[in-house]
Chain A
Amino acid sequence: NAGVTQTPKFQVLKTGQSMTLQCAQDMNHEYMSWYRQDPGMGLRLIHYSVGAGITDQGEVPNGYNVSRSTTEDFPLRLLSAAPSQTSVYFCASRGLAGGREQYFGPGTRLTVT
């Protein structure tokens, strides 16, 4: 099992550009989520999904879109990148039952100039 994979590992964007961060898991987990990590802020939830076709907003959703067409994949789209979106992005997944631990991908370090 590869677990949770993310691509790319690093990305530099110019302000206004768009891009998609990819996330895939091979554990057949229904729940998937995206977090951003900023210095001194811990991890904050951007969007999450409890299954294919179902997504919802987290704590900091503005500027990001998600979709979930398959159980395995949960891409995060930045529509028009801003310097405030410079961060490390983590994708995670878990089984659907409440209280299950989440397993995290290796992260994507994004810089917006």
Chain B
Amino acid sequence: AQKVTQAQTEISVVEKEDVTLDCVYETRDTTYYLFWYKQPPSGELVFLIRRNSFDEQNEISGRYSWNFQKSTSSFNFTITASQVVDSAVYFCALSEPTGANSKLTFGKGITLSVRP
């Protein structure tokens, strides 16, 4: 069975600090997909990134970067120079590879508070 662990439950930083959100996953499959979603205080879920298990390149998008390491089963998310607008709950998720029926398993989320 697949599992996603987000051991940090709440993180508080001051604006402009860098912050890393940890995600560790478990799966028996060799092909899988990993995701990060953001849930701002308004409540909607916003897709941030998808990574497949064959692509271990790190990704950078503006102030956001993701570090995928198969050797440690981790897919960590770093926000550089955090801003108040980054305050949200962040979810890491894992998808089985099996096509049409593939289901998404979520971690419990990390609440990030960025103080001015």
Contacts and interface: CB of A to CB of B under 8 A. Distances in A.
Interface in A22-38: 30-31, 33, 35
Contacts of A44: 106
A99 B97 contact: yes
B45 interface: yes
B65 to A, nearest CB: 18
B91 A48 contact: no
Interface residues of B, number: 26
A103 interface: yes
Interface of A: 30-31, 33, 35, 40-45, 48, 50, 56, 58, 88, 90, 92, 96-104, 106-107
Interface of B: 9, 32-33, 35, 37, 43-45, 47, 50, 52, 91, 95-104, 106-109
Q: What are the 10 closest A-B residue pairs judged by CB atoms, nearest first?
A: A99-B33, A104-B45, A98-B99, A42-B106, A98-B102, A42-B108, A43-B106, A50-B100, A101-B47, A101-B50
Given A43-B45, A99-B52, 14 more contacts: A35-B106, A45-B103, A45-B104, A50-B101, A97-B100, A98-B33, A98-B96, A98-B97, A98-B100, A99-B95, A101-B35, A101-B47, A102-B104, A104-B45
